[in-house]
Amino acid sequence: MTTQNLALFDLDNTLLAGDSDYNWSLFLISEGLLDAKTHHDRNEQFYLDYKNGCLNIVEFLKFQLKPLSEHPKAFLDELHQKYMQKVIRPMMTVKAQALVDKHKTAGDLCVVITATNSFVTKPIATAYGIEHLIGSDPEMVNGEYTGGVTGVPTYKEGKVIRINQWLAERGKKLEDFELSYFYSDSHNDLPLMKLVTNPVAVDADAILTEYAKAQAWPNMSLRD
């Protein structure tokens, strides 16, 4: 057993009072970089599929990462700063920050693990003061995004695969931690929630709420 504990955080609708992926598409539409007619309905459908647990993650990532391939990385990074200020900062809650700070103060190894791509989410994790992020990784060639994805998407069982890979790279296993926490709002995260010692439902969807109740898991809110 390692003396350090592990704290895993889902991002969208957990640490954030909203969804960074869904809102990124809306933001691109508002900036005139995506055609509203073409993208709005598909974005809505993908979001609904995610909530219903039937999202085709490969098709979704193809949809979500395509705009990254259409602009230079320097432009996208600048755009993301605007997105952070305009959309994300208002979604970051005092309670979420306090929870992160509590785990950091305890010396826990803190990781954001999210199905959303790491281009969108890495700056958000950083803003919360969390160094480590495991997200679905956009493919890059010569410093620019291709629109493809690299590695296993961090969705459902993919989160289990990715955290195991990430820990293995550090010479660790999930079982090495005496206490391991995973905070999530979504039933899509049940595969990983079932493996940690301390799963916590956060502003949970109906399916996760029922499951958490049956398992006597804590159910909390991080909304201000």
Catalytic residue numbers, as ranges: 10, 12
DSSP 8-state symbol, 131? -
By three-state DSSP, how is residue 55 classified? coil
- What beta strand segments (E) does the chain contain? 6-9, 109-117, 132-141, 144-150, 180-184, 198-202, 219-220
Residue 202 to residues 20, 39, 144, 222: CA-CA distances in angstroms? Answer: 17, 30, 36, 7
DSSP 8-state symbol, 33? S
How far is residue 34's CA from residue 63's CA, in Å, rounded to a whole number?
12
How far is residue 205's CA from residue 165's CA, in Å, rounded to a whole number?
28
How far is residue 167's CA from residue 45's CA, in Å, rounded to a whole number?
34
